[in-house]
Amino acid sequence: MKKRSFLIPALALLILAGCKNKDSQPMENPFFSAWNTPYEIPDFSRIKTEHYMPAFREGMARQKAEIDSIVNNPEAPTFENTILPYEYSGQLLGEVSRVFFNLSECENSPEMEAIEEEVTPLLAAHGDDIALNAKLFQRIKAVYDQRDNLGLNPEQMRLLEETYKGFVRGGANVPADQQERFRQLNEQIASLTMRFAQNVLKATNAYSKELPDGSKVTLDMPTWEPFMQTCADRKLREEVWHAFTDRCKEGEFDNTKIIDTLVNLRLERANILGFPTHADWVLDDCLAKTPANVYKCLLDIWKPALKVAKQERDLYQKMLEKDEPGAKLQPWDWRYYSEKLRKEKYALDDAEVRPYFSLDSVRAGAFMVANKLYGLTFTERTDLPTYDKEARCFEVKDGDQVIGILYMDFHPRASKRSGAWMTEFRGQHRTLEGENVIPIIQVVCNFTKPTADKPSLLNFDESETLFHEFGHALHGLLSKCTYPSLAGTNVPRDFVELPSQVMENWCRHPQVMKMYAHHYQTGEAIPDELIKKIESAATYGQGFMTTELLAASLLDMDYYSIREKQAIDPLQFEELAMNKIGLIPEIISRYRSPYFQHIFTTGYDAGYYSYTWTAILDADAFEAFAESGDLFNPDLAAKFRHLLESGNTVEPMDLYRAFRGKDPSPKALLKRKGML
């Protein structure tokens, strides 16, 4: 399976991509003075937990003063005295927020959790104070209403339009008699999402099973999935399966009541904003636009995917009957027999593949592709500040010019959330004075740690995950925008996965594999025979992988398409949703509701469909390179680089059409999955 990764979203309105012109003050708190570090990287060694709350409070106070200054300006509203100062407000708050929330994902502790619990409602209230500031919105609206007469350039116009839209979506038009309830909803939603995430992390860390061979299995994917693929003991597979899929459905870390409350609160908030469902509110700001469009996209692929999944099930059932006559295939059997048949049918064994995909080789391969496409080089810098000894830091250059800093943090820790993601400690932008500020990007994964005699060896799915997150990183690193809120990955959610997913195509292409996949002991390039096995097996298991992904996407849409407040039992709701689409009992949704962090904590609520939506774009985009006969076609690379550089300064589909010369077609995706 793949795509357990996801991008950590920006905190809307509140945490603006940061600018670094902070006032210097002779105070001990490191957030209150400029970083005296290369590239003004956060000075991680000086930051202590006791610094966060004072910095949060000071950051909120400063932004409040900045907003008051805009509101109380006696001059008529203009782009220069209203839109620009609002865009660049909250610099300190944005900085401390990014450092804190990024580290809370990968360096968590009871002290960090306590800070998160304290600051979350404060941040929600502060965001509402801005979003519901009637006088501020009046000034923004006044500028927006005269936008056609201001002589703005396209990027300025885009900023004005997005700022106005953001305020409307954030509640600026909420009637006065509903504003207090609106504030309560935002605060409750913020607190619930935080608790949900903490429960998942604690439940994941709470389980560890000693195995007869002296090793142990945990619920981290790098150990859990290989165990499920190779363990011949069916009862043991069942036990470990339930440990994984039953997380947070009851007991100390129960998330079911949180889901019930959260879904209904999001519905109520959407209603106050004038939308019939939470999904309608979310999608109004996405390419898909409506729930109906999302359902159609998902169900069009669901039918052929389910058909293939049923064929796969029948094969595995026959294999199980040979081992245990009369036994019925169960979800905890699927990975075991799938891997067994894959070895038999394609003579492809993960143990044969992994030696050619050491973590360093795959990382170097991703860097090589970026070099051939965009001319970028990556130099490791061990002298730059870092937040953990396992986090590696790279200086990114375009020619002789440093364009960004990239942190890569690859291995599991008890303090680290599972999965893989990209985020930023600072986004690219230009200051008010016109100086370009380079981005500081973070990629976080959870790959098996190296041992004393063996490096971290990835399976092919994990290799694609690294390329995927690196694609997000390139989106941030190559940004060439003026305004923080339009730069880098600040694009609609159903477009943001294009730069990441398209990179996977280079990862899996035979020509590229020969360039980077080398045996970790001998240095030998991956043999053609093994490449052919990987290529032949590329469509193997696609029924399962596509079906479980679509099931999760449809479950997400069902939660957020409810139109009336109702008592929700997540386990029952999920069962009804899966029965409705005919999901076979041998497969479950990729994520069970109680630990489905994408849709309950990390900003993919009514948005998990975007992985499928964007897959159509990424397959179609790579088809352009394949059709050209040159995987690194310089003309196409230049056009795609322009797409990456442009952030949200242009309508995303206009950027795509400028690259491709036409609208995307789903044919390339279905062809890639072997479903045409």
Active site residues: 469
The H or E element that residue 500 is part of is helix 498-508
Report DSSP state, residue 649: S
Amino acid at the residue 468 = H
Q: Give the residues across from 402 on adjacent strands.
A: 397
Helix axes 234-245, 221-230, angle to 10 degrees: 150
Judged by DSSP in three states, 62 sits in helix
Q: How far apart are CA 237 and CA 464, in angstroms?
A: 26
**Encoded tokens for 5:** 């990764």
Measured CA angle at 665 (ends 660, 668), to 5 deg: 95
**CA atoms 132, 483, 381, 513: torsion sign:** positive
Burial of 154 (0-12, 13-18, 19+ CB in 10 A): exposed
- Report strand pairing: 392-398 vs 376-380: antiparallel
Dihedral angle sign, alpha carbons of residues 302, 304, 307, 311 = negative
The rounded distance, in Å, linking the Cα atoms of 425 and 95 is: 7
Helix (H) or strand (E) holding 429: strand 429-430
Q: What dihedral do alpha carbons 572, 578, 580, 582 form, nearest 10°?
A: -140
Q: What is the DSSP letter of 83?
A: I
- CA distance between the termini of the chain: 21
Q: Strand runs (DSSP E) across 221-361, as ranges?
A: none
